[in-house]
Amino acid sequence: MKHWQGIINLVYEHQKQETTIKSVFSQAPFKFQNSFYPEGKSVCHSVILHTAGGIAGDDILSQNICLANSSQVLITTPAATKIYGSKGKKAIQEVKIKLEKNAYLEYLPQEMIVFNNANFEQKMRVDLEDNASWLGWEIIRFGRSARGEIFSGGNWLNYLEIWRENKPIWIDRQYFMGNSPLFYASNGLGGNPVVGNLVYIGSENIDQYISNLRHLIKEKYDENIGIGITALQQGLLCRYMGDSVSAAKEYFTLIWQFLRDKKGLDGTFKSRIWQ
């Protein structure tokens, strides 16, 4: 099997109330799809393609994304990302995001499916300038549970760092071994194969957002849904744990739409890529 060293570099700019892609560089298996504007020219929507179908051991992938002052961008993927099993060989993906003053990025990839015996490490760093905002989510399924597969071997590492003006705002380190008893433990995943994280970092006071979101979710979903929302320094964190990718997407979409509305964007919007 061929091993990839994929790169995608994206730079956006904002002029005359329009956000456009200034420069693109991609190296296989990454490919950039043309930008589109379902909400008008102020918000640029982009899709990052991974043409190899999945990530395998020894793959090294790099994403570098920069938004100039006042740019507004939504980035997503057209399908789930598959992390294939390997014989101990590690796949690595590094994502570096820089948002200049007043920029806003929604980084919303579709789910990641971690095959049994996969060995994967992702490092993401987000650097924010004054008044910049970032919203990102990730949804992970451990094992192809629809066919009865569990994540009984391998390693999954996920590092997220968010900095504003060279000061740390949120640092999250997650590490899960395939043979870990934490998969079934009550203080671990409790046997749930799907986990999700949504992080929003902004410049506004979000204290009222927390109580409003908790009320909104409780009002719409009266059952125990395995979701929690907590305040962060300059933002909020939402975590999901359960057995359904579609449920995680539904809950996160509700939160994302609420936050979009607060930023003056379309709070009813859903990307056509996800349909």
**Among all chains, which residue has been given the structure tokens 């002052």?**
69
> How many Å apart are CA 133 and CA 173, to the nearest integer?
21
Give the model's pLDDT for residue 207: 83
Residue 152: how many CA atoms within 13 Å on its side-chain side?
A: 4
CA 229 to chain centre: 16
> How many Å apart are CA 142 and CA 245, to the nearest integer?
11
Q: Indicate the pTM of the whole model.
A: 0.95
Q: Residue 152 has which token pair?
A: 């009984």
What's the per-residue H, E or C state across 162-184?
EEECCEEEEEEEEEEECCCHHHC
Q: Is the pLDDT of residue 275 over 80?
A: no
* Secondary structure element (H or E) that encloses residue 45, with its range: strand 44-50
Q: Is the pLDDT of residue 2 over 80?
A: no
Q: Is the pLDDT of residue 222 over 70?
A: no
Q: Sign of dihedral through CA atoms 204, 270, 195, 210?
A: positive
What's the per-residue H, E or C state across 122-163?
EEEEEEECCCCEEEEEEEEEECCHHHCCCCCCCEEEEEEEEE
Q: pLDDT of 4-41, one tens digit each?
A: 999 999 999 999 999 999 999 999 999 998 899 999 99
Angle between the 245-262 and 207-220 helix axes, to the nearest 10 degrees? 140
Q: Sign of dihedral through CA atoms 1, 154, 48, 132?
A: negative
Which alpha helices (DSSP H) does the chain contain, by range? 207-220, 245-262
Q: Is the pLDDT of residue 224 over 80?
A: no
Strands 72-76 and 44-50: parallel
On whether the CB atoms of residues 187 and 216 are closer than 8 A, the answer is: no
Q: Residue 47 has which token pair?
A: 């899709």
